Amino acid sequence: MTFITKLKKYAQLAVVNGTGLKEGQTLVINAPVSAQEFVRLCVQSAYEDAKAGYVYVRWNDEITSKMTFQNANLERITNVDQWVIDQYQTFVNEGAAALSIYAPAPGLMDDVDASVIAKVTQATQKAIAFYRQHMMSNQSQWSLVSIPNAFWAKKIFPHLSEDAAIEGLWEAIFQAVRVSEDNDPIADWAAHNTMLHANNERLNQHQFTSLKFKNSHGTDLEVGLVKNHRWAGGAEVAANGQTFNPNIPTEETFTMPHRERVNGKVVASKPLNYQGRLIDDFYFVFKDGRVVEYDALVGKEALDVLMNSDEGARSIGEVALISHDSPISNMNILFFNTLYDENASCHIALGRAYPMNVLGGTTMSEDELKAVGMNFSNEHVDFMFGTEDMYIVGVKEDGSEIEVFKDGNFVL
C-alpha cells in the first residue's frame, strides 16, 4: 500500500495545492493516456476535496502525435479547427483551472522533421494565443506536474530494467515533490512556499537594475531587469483570489528581464528537451537583448527552429535563481525534463515573459507591458546554465554591486 498511499497524496497535492481549485469551479486536466490511474485519483480529489463543479480530461499521446507528424497532410494539421479554438474559449469564459500532467519522451521526435513539428506548434500557439495570455497572466489557476513513463524512465536509468527504472523515477519524483508515506505534503508545501517567498522579498527590496553572471563554463552575462520588477516563486494568487502553485516541484525565484538589456555569453549546463528533440552542449551570445550567435553540438537543427520560430524567441522573458545546494540538484539526476532540471539550476527562458513579474503587470495592456520592457513570443523555453561555481552580483541603480550568489548558492 506504500506506493498507492503516496500516489493518492501526490494527486491531492496536485489538485489542492497545485490548482487551488475552488468549490464549483471547472478543472481541465491535460494528461497522457499512460496516466489513467493518476488522473482518476486527481479527478476523485477534485470532486471530493475541492468540490469541483466539473472536471474535464483532455487526453494526449506522444507516440500517435509522432505518427501524425510523420504521415499526416501538413496543410491539414496546421489548420487548427474552430472547435478546438472554441473549446479553449469556453475554458476562458468559465474561468476554468488547469492541471497539466506531463510525461515526456525525451528524444522520441529526434527522427521527425523538426520543421513539421514547428509549423504545427506555431499554428496551434497562434490560434489559442488568447488562452495562453489568460493563463500566463494568472487570470485562472494552473499547475504542472509530471509522472513517469517507460521511455522517460529508461532514458534516465538506462542500466535498469524497465520496471526498475519506472520505480526509481517514481521515488525521485516523490522526493522532489515532498511526498512520503508518513508526511503531510500540503503542510510541507506551505512551509516551502514561505521560504521561497522570503527569497522573493529580499530580492524585491533591492530592485537591482541588472544581474551579472559568471562561471567556469564560459558564462559571462549581464541581464538587465525591468523597472519595478517583481520576483516570484512558490505559490501565486490568481485574479479570482485563489492561491495556487504553478509548478510542482519548484525551487526557483524568478523575474522579468528587460528584452533590450541582455548582453554577453551564456553556456547551457544541462541538455534541453525541446518538442521531443534533445539539444545539448549549446550556447547563446546576446547583444542589446537579442541572440546574435548560437551553436549546439547536439540538436542544432532543433535549436535553429526555436531561434526562428518568431520575433521574440531570440530574446528572454525570464531569469531564475536556484542554489546549487538544493533538494533536486542534490539528487544528482539528469531528468531530461525541464520541470525538474530547471529546479536544479539557475535558468533563463527564451520567449514570452510573465506579466506578474512587473508591478501591476497583470492589469496592463500589451502596449503598456512592451513599454516597460516585457518580451512577447509564442515560445517560453527554459534552459539551464547554473553550476556549482556560479557567481552572481546584483547592480543597484547607483552602480554599486552586491553579491547574490557565491560558489553556486545564495549569499544575499
Domain termination residue (choose one: 126, 154, 176) = 176
- pLDDT over 90 percentage in the chain: 91
Same domain membership, residue 74 and residue 19? yes
pLDDT of residue 389: 96
Same domain membership, residue 226 and residue 347? yes
Same domain membership, residue 159 and residue 14? yes
Same domain membership, residue 298 and residue 171? no
Q: Is 83 exposed, middle or buried (0-12, 13-18, 19+ CB in 10 A)?
A: exposed
Domain termination residue (choose one: 154, 176, 198) = 176
Q: With respect to residue 103, please indicate whether it lies within any of the assigned structural domains.
A: yes
pLDDT in tens, 291-311: 999 999 999 999 999 999 999
Domain termination residue (choose one: 122, 156, 176) = 176
Q: With respect to residue 132, please indicate whether it lies within any of the assigned structural domains.
A: yes
Q: With respect to residue 183, please indicate whether it lies within any of the assigned structural domains.
A: no
Its sign, for the CA torsion 322, 328, 331, 336, is negative
Which residue from 122, 152, 76, 138 is spatially nearest to 336, judged by alpha carbons? 152
Same domain membership, residue 274 and residue 139? no
pLDDT category of residue 107 using cuts at 50, 70 and 90: confident
Q: What CA–CA distances, in Å, run from 166 to 108, 173, 283, 297, 409? A: 17, 10, 32, 29, 31
Q: Give how far the C-alpha of residue 352 lies from the chain's centroid of Cα atoms, to the nearest Å.
A: 12
Measured CA to CA, the distance from residue 361 to residue 52 in angstroms comes to 29
Same domain membership, residue 324 and residue 220? yes
What phi-psi label fits residue 82: left (phi over 0), alpha (psi between -120 and 50 degrees) or beta? alpha
pLDDT in tens, 131-187: 998 998 899 999 999 999 999 999 999 999 999 999 999 999 999 999 999 999 999
Measured CA to CA, the distance from residue 191 to residue 307 in angstroms comes to 39
Measured CA to CA, the distance from residue 223 to residue 219 in angstroms comes to 12
- Greatest CA separation for the chain: 59
Measured CA to CA, the distance from residue 316 to residue 182 in angstroms comes to 41
Q: With respect to residue 341, please indicate whether it lies within any of the assigned structural domains.
A: yes
Same domain membership, residue 346 and residue 398? yes
Predicted TM-score of the model (pTM):
0.89
- 275 pLDDT higher than 90: no
pLDDT of residue 1: 60
Q: Is 383 exposed, middle or buried (0-12, 13-18, 19+ CB in 10 A)?
A: buried
- 273 pLDDT higher than 70: yes
Measured CA to CA, the distance from residue 99 to residue 246 in angstroms comes to 9
pLDDT in tens, 72-81: 999 999 999 9
Its sign, for the CA torsion 124, 128, 132, 133, is positive
Which residue from 134, 138, 137 is spatially nearest to 242, judged by alpha carbons? 138
Q: Give the domain extent around 128.
A: 2-176
Q: Render the burial of 221-241: b for 16+ CB within 10 Å, e for the rest.
A: bbbbbbeebbbbbbbbebeee
User: What average pLDDT does the structure give for the chain?
Assistant: 95
pLDDT of residue 106: 86
Same domain membership, residue 394 and residue 340? yes
Q: With respect to residue 200, please indicate whether it lies within any of the assigned structural domains.
A: no
- 289 pLDDT higher than 80: yes
Q: With respect to residue 354, please indicate whether it lies within any of the assigned structural domains.
A: yes
Same domain membership, residue 219 and residue 166? no
Task: Check which CATH number belongs to the domain holding 50 and give it.
Answer: 3.40.1830.10
Q: With respect to residue 314, please indicate whether it lies within any of the assigned structural domains.
A: yes
Domains in the chain, number: 2
Same domain membership, residue 140 and residue 7? yes
Whether the CB-CB separation of 376 and 340 falls below 8 Å is answered with no
Same domain membership, residue 148 and residue 265? no
Measured CA to CA, the distance from residue 220 to residue 215 in angstroms comes to 7
Which residue from 315, 387, 381, 316 is spatially nearest to 346, judged by alpha carbons? 387
